[in-house]
Amino acid sequence: MKKLLLLFLLWSMFVPMLSQRTVIYDDGIASLRLDKGGEVSGLPVLDLSKREELTVSFDDLTHEYRRFSYRIEHVGADFLTDEGLFDSEYMIADDAELLIEDYAQSMNTTVLYNHYSFKLPNVNMRPLLSGNYRLTVRVEGEDGNMQPAFETYFAVVEHKTSVLLRGTTNTEIDYNKTHQQLDIELTYGDELFIRDATQDIRIVVLQNGRWDNAVEYPKPTAQTGKSLKWEHSRDLIFKAGNEYRKFEQLSTRVPGMFVDNVRYFEPYYYATLPVNTPRKNYLYDEDQNGRYVIRTERSGDADVEADYMWVMFQLEMPQVTDADVYLDGLWTGNLFVPRYQMKYNVQAGRYEALIFLKQGYYSYQYVAVRRGGGGRKSAFSVEGDFFQTENEYTVLVYYRKPGDRYDQLVGWRTASYRAR
């Protein structure tokens, strides 16, 4: 276990401070999930007018009870800006920081852990305003002081706009080749006081919940009455990518879907996936666009009965000389860090990565990131871009009322697009 925690510590040292990404500081944290209605997404969005709940859960691999607390903070549309609001302005809470009281020990697993969870909103804490929220979880250290364990984000929407989303493969770059382009129409009513719609309203567009290629604040191409349009906008052209791969491992005895073998080498189980090669042509496969589900063959509670195992990913291809290859999915947090980087095995002629994962279903893709350069790192698929690929697009609509100190989230729409 000490060796395992050392590996997690080394990984966490290289996690960069990214605005809208999950950042894990504590080396014992694993399988962090933000789950809304049984589904994990890149940015969970709660509807302020509905009784929706967000379940936050994670495992502590130290297997020792530790005190964890949580707090939420309202942040700007850029996920960075501290808007200077008082706690009482954006939430009703018994205290600014609350203890996590719901936890359970793992049962009949080779890797021992404690599973923690809590829901938002709850009777002790409830957000009042729409917009983006930073969720910070802290843990009590050996010195008795609370220190950051991880940070992540969610959003609350109050629908005051209508969003129409259309996709096409007839783009400003090519026709039925490697790209997809979005047209967006946004309409709003009298409850929004708009002086300059191009300044007061801003949108962010995500592809499959990814933040590395997110389009932030594109300028509308037309405005008519109470409507904004983004048509034939080069800013809204996305590389189409390829369908995500997947595997499922529910048992510690027999291989699961797209798993070659499962073996036990004390003290861990090891699952080896087949050797993949980059797909040269497009072949439709129903995928989950990077999502993952923790589950096991047992009929009990997977949160505490699913085991951890080392999973070997293998991609046979020539070495890319000017880029690094990573595994990517919602379970990686869309982070291009050493934990998810694949190393090239020169003798075998393939990229390999050994990742410590909890039993369940995982959707993933192989991507590459160019070395060097500053700013945001954007990945590209090593398996090509095909216009037929099914992708999921999300539009977030932000509005700042004149004189206000915070950004509202007044619209949100997610839709899948696949060329027919």
Q: For 132-183, how does the pLDDT look when each residue is reduced to its tens digit (9 = 90+)? A: 999 999 999 999 999 999 999 999 999 999 999 999 999 999 999 999 999 9
Among the residue ranges 118-122, 283-287, 389-393, the one predicted with the least confidence is 283-287
pLDDT of 11 strictly over 60: no
- pLDDT above 70 covers a percentage of the chain that reads 94
pLDDT of 10 strictly over 50: no
Chain segment 308-345, per-residue pLDDT in tens: 999 999 999 999 999 999 999 999 988 898 999 999 99
Q: In the predicted model, what is the mean pLDDT of the chain?
A: 92
Q: What is the pLDDT of residue 348?
A: 98
- Binned at pLDDT 50, 70 and 90, residue 374 comes out as low
- Binned at pLDDT 50, 70 and 90, residue 373 comes out as low
pLDDT of 9 strictly over 80: no
pLDDT of 230 strictly over 90: yes
Name the DSSP class of 64.
S
Domain with CATH 2.60.40.10 in the chain: 161-241+388-417
Domain with CATH 2.20.130 in the chain: 2-157
E-assigned strands of 76-200?
A: 91-93, 98-99, 102-105, 114-120, 125-127, 131-140, 146-157, 161-168, 179-188
Report the top-level CATH class of 2-157: mainly beta
Cα 197-203-204 angle, rounded to 5 deg: 165
Chain segment 39-61, per-residue pLDDT in tens: 777 789 999 999 899 999 999 99
Contacts of 410 (CB under 8 A, 6+ apart): 130, 157, 158, 159, 160, 161, 188, 192, 397, 398, 399
Section 356-384 average pLDDT: 90
What is the 3-state secondary structure of 362-398?
Answer: EEEEEEEEECCCCCCCCEEECCCCCCCCCEEEEEEEE
- pLDDT above 90 covers a percentage of the chain that reads 81
In CATH, 161-241+388-417 is 2.60.40.10: yes
- Binned at pLDDT 50, 70 and 90, residue 239 comes out as very high
pTM over 0.85: yes
